[in-house]
Structure 1
Amino acid sequence: MSGRRSLTGLLHLLLLVLGAVWIYPFIWMLFSSLKTNTEYINAGFKLLPEAAQWDNYARAWKVGHFSTYFANSVIITCTTVVIVIVMCALTGYALGRVAFPGRKLFVLAITATMFIPKGYTIIPIYQIIKSLGLLNTLPGIILAESSGAHVLFILLYMTYFHNLPKELEEAAEMDGCGFIRTFVRVMLPLAKPIIATTAIMQFIWTWNSFFVPLIFSINKPDLRTLAVGMYSFVGEHTVDWSGMAAGASISLIPVIVVFIVFQRFFIEGISGSVKG
């Protein structure tokens, strides 16, 4: 018994050490955002600054235009999340509840798109956005970000809806609900864990997205997101490292808050889909 306790204690100690190593870069970035550029370069692995430089955050917010980039990121990310949730929920509902010819082939086809790197699809996406007259606009970036199959989310919805009792649809039909009305009033409210999972993951991916916002805002810096806005700290001959660390700290706050608020639903959504 004592040997098992010792082994458990060693395992916990090992996990704590690994956790500290894992989180150290994040803590180092937070403390680095409070240093001067000279101290940042010469500090090495030293965490605590000699004197906290809170002006770094003011410089990132105002001089670095992070107030504009933050607003762009919020608009692009939240709108993209809503679009992806609606598209994937409808697709997953159709695949999970309707037995139509070629259903399995369609699932295999969209699953195969998971292996296509996003960089290979940027040219057709760019051409489509251009043909719609949405280049250098926020709607264009939103449409580009929300494009794609989003196979993981579709499969999560498909599995979840497939495992719901058929009696729910039959009861809704008896009450006069059609296909869409049944989906909106009965099925979708039951899929809150999957909605939360989709919202969290898509929020993180879109918020941290760099390639697509860079391509579609390259000719209009006012449309940059926070990830792309890091360029504002890079000059021709110098780099504002402490300002960049402050900007990175600002950009991480919404991601952390969203995950903390919705983590319970996120875990329920993943575990429910795995069980299904």
Structure 2
Amino acid sequence: MTSETLTSDPTAADRGRSVLKHTLIIVFGVLMLYPLLWMLSSSFKPSETIFRETSLFPNQVIFDNYTEGWSSLAHPFQHYLFNSAVIAVLAIVGNLLTCSLAAYAFARVEFPLKKLWFALMLGTIMLPIHVLIVPQYVLFSKLGWINTILPLVVPKFLAHDAFFVFLMVQFIRSLPRELDEAARLDGCGHFRIYSRIVMPLCLPALATSAVFTFIWTWNDFFSQLIFLTDPDKYTVPVALRSFMDAQGQTSWGPLFAMSVVALVPIFGFFLAGQRYLTRGIATTGLK
């Protein structure tokens, strides 16, 4: 086969573009993973060598950072993992229940000023948390909820996260209305249609909402720092902040070690829900 044939062969050209594309993807993937790999590597280095060694492979591998980080705070680190897990689970339950109810109402129920309320709901997505935190703090302070998990959990049971309402509205709108009409002929009302027909088909959207709710709640530092003042109620992000003392001195080794530990539930939750995310993209909720 001559060089002219290879040059003019569209299959060879497509193969070359595919190799180049995958090479670029791998390069960018490595660049994105580098901070994570550096943190993992640093968790096995002595604190005094973390910022002196540039290699991802430590010259001296130690495990003391994990044992020290696990027990160096006021409570063992599993205490803060448990606090974060409780808040995250309650947030997931609240978001899935109330956001799906609100989404069904916007997608399937006709009521006065529906488009206006939907537009106002979408408008709340553009409000940054720094604008809302002061009135929220005043309200929760008057209710006596400061230093409890209630400010972090109760809004989730009031369809507080408009992003997930919008996500589920778009998903429910993609479902054929013939399913609802057939259910009404069998005597089903809105609640039975919601619970027996719409929600089973919305499993990919619910899984997506659960995954993002868990990640955002688990990583939330600002709100938890504002509303939780008792060290006994600290969550993982606030506890990690405790590795830096008032003089600005930081125990970098234990900090990185516990940061790695804190990432494990996120990876586990994401991997557990990944197949539902893929199914939602591939099938848009219908088999």
What TM-score, normalized by structure 2, do the two folds share? 0.87
Residue in structure 1 matched with residue 243 of structure 2 by the alignment: 233
Select 2:16's aligned residue among 6, 13, 17: 6
Is residue 223 from structure 1 mapped to residue 228 from structure 2 by the alignment?
Answer: no
Q: For the residues of structure 1 that align with 2:65 and 2:186, how far apart are their CA atoms?
A: 60
Q: Tell me, what secondary structure is at the counterpart of 1:41?
A: coil
* Structure 1 spans left out of the alignment, 5+ residues: none
1:86-165 to 2 correspondences below 5 Å: 86-143=97-154, 149-165=160-176
Query: Which range is displaced more, 255-264 or 234-243?
Result: 234-243
Tell me the equivalent position of 1:244.
255
**Partner residue of 2:56 out of 47, 68, 75:** 47
**Residues of 1 paired with 2:276 and 2:174: CA distance?**
18
Could you tell me how far 1:271 is from its partner in structure 2?
5.8
Superposed CA offset, 1:47-77 (max 9, x none): 1222322121122222234221111110001
Q: 1:25 to 1:169 in 2, by over 3 A?
A: same
Change (3 A) 1:186 1:77: same
Deviation at 1:40, TM superposition (A): 0.8
* Unaligned runs of at least 5 residues, structure 2: 1-8
Q: Is the 8 A contact 1:83 1:146 kept in 2?
A: yes
Helix, strand or coil at the partner of 1:236: coil
Question: Is the alpha carbon distance of 1:213 and 1:221 closer, same or farther for their aligned partners in structure 2, counting shifts above 3 Å?
Answer: same
Report the identity percentage: 34
Once the two structures are overlaid, the 10-residue window that deviates more, 98-107 or 162-171, is 162-171
Deviates more, 1:90-99 or 1:61-70: 61-70
Q: CA deviation at 1:258?
A: 0.9
Match of 1:193 among 178, 189, 204: 204
Aligned residues: 273
Query: Aligned letter for 1:248?
Result: S
1:234 is matched by which residue type in structure 2?
Answer: M
Offset at 1:257? 0.8
**Structure (1 or 2) with the larger CA radius of gyration:** 2
RMSD: 2.2
State the Cα deviation string for residues 211-232 of structure 1 (Å, max 9, x = none).
1000011x31111111111122
Counterparts of 2:41 and 2:100, CA distance in 1: 41
* CA distance in 2 between partners of 1:150 and 1:271 (Å): 25
Select which of 74, 79, 83 maps to 2:85: 74
Report the AA paired with residue 17 of structure 1: V
TM-score by length of 1: 0.91
From 272, 275, 281, the counterpart of 1:264: 275
